[in-house]
Amino acid sequence: MAHSFGLAVSVIDTTINAVVTTPVDLSPEGVAATPDGGYVHVTNFHTQRVSRIDTTTKGVLAKFVGEDQYPRGVAVASDGRYLYVTNSESNTVSVINSTTNAVITTISGGSRPAGVAVTAHDVYVANEGSNTVSAIIDDHPTQHLVDRSAEFGTSPALGAPTACVIPGLGVHNIAYRDTSGRLHELWRDAQGVTGTTNLAANADAPKAAGNPFAYVDTSRNTEILLYRSGDGTVRTLYWSTGPVGHDNLSGTAGAPKAAGYPVGYYAAAADSHHVIYRTGDGHLHELNWTGVAPVVYGGNLTGAISAPRAAGDPTAFVNAAGVNIVVFLACSFPLRDKRSDSGVSSSYNKPAEKSLKLADGGYRLYLEVRRTGVKL
């Protein structure tokens, strides 16, 4: 979600219940963490810059300037060496060296590129202006765009794609939602053979009401595709080399309905799955399960520690130390909400916007919740 004014970014460590805020630029759009969890990158649309935040010190290490670019989406390469930033006004994608902060190359692409996702080898871009999904093929020393959805004549995309690699199979998968809410897969196997699958039809599952999110269970070589259906239920499609399965996650766990797009990850050391999503009142909730055991409701993460409510959808990961981390943009404008998941009236007030403005005109735009209560 785009929140041009009145947003804050705070860091909440639940081990000490302390809040720290980090100043970055106005108009955050995209948020992406490095694979090791050491840094978080935020695109700032109106100031046309990308901010890098150190998740240990909570300080901004650098701000990269891109004139007339208007950055929106950001993704980090699987090895952490490069950033891929979509520039909606120039119809380009910038490839940035994450060490020097220099733009290595700028790739011309589709109309109004927005969302971006990476695999071990390729980068996939959702083009808002043309409702297509493009792939940046990395064949050094050159890079070029390939329209994957047009290759098979699949339905136009609505929203950002998601992508992953199943390492044990050498398979590359792109998933996206079409304009009718159906979920499609564009795949490439280890031999380079490509194809497409209508996932929702294959699994006889409800249509999606938001963008999907993919991650991999590396212990079972299984892709997990999370999404929200029209009734607010958090669901998953999953498959390896056989048929596509479907589970009603929030319904089975007895968890609240979702308003945002769910995200998730797999913690291999504990063989555990974690799904984070936002409800209509701005709270972030967790679902989790171990191995192939039934899903359970992990609780209201923000509510449990009185953290600020989310103004957008989160991203989440487990770092090298085994800490589960959720990153999200928080509300920082005056807000009063009379709703609660239990139906009991409650109110919630945030500081006035003026208290969040900094001397240099920037805003506090980074929020992180660390959850250590999950067994790892």
Are 46 and 4 a contacting pair, CB within 8 Å? Answer: yes
Whether pLDDT at 82 is above 50:
yes
Are 177 and 159 a contacting pair, CB within 8 Å? Answer: yes
**Both structure tokens of 162:** 């998601």
Whether pLDDT at 228 is above 50:
yes
Convert the pLDDT of each residue in 34-73 to its tens digit: 888 788 888 877 777 887 877 777 666 666 666 567 788 8
pLDDT at 285: 95
Relative to beta strand 222-228, strand 234-239 is: antiparallel
pLDDT at 138: 57
Q: Is 331 helix (H, G, I), strand (E, B) or coil?
A: strand
Of 38-47, 203-212, 264-273, minimum mean pLDDT range: 38-47
pLDDT at 51: 79
Spacing of C-alpha 27 from chain mean position: 17
- Residue 132 pLDDT level (bands cut at 50, 70, 90): confident
**Both structure tokens of 369:** 């919740």
Distance CA(227)–CA(375), nearest Å, equals 25
Mean pLDDT of 10-30: 57
Which of 16, 14, 49 lies closest to 363 in space, CA to CA? 49
- pTM exceeds cut of 0.75: no
Share of the chain above pLDDT 70, in %: 73
Q: Which CATH architecture has domain 7-371?
A: 7 Propeller (2.130)
Whether pLDDT at 81 is above 70:
yes
Sorted by where each begins, the domain ranges of the chain are 7-371
Cis peptide upstream of residue 141 (ω within 30 degrees of 0): yes
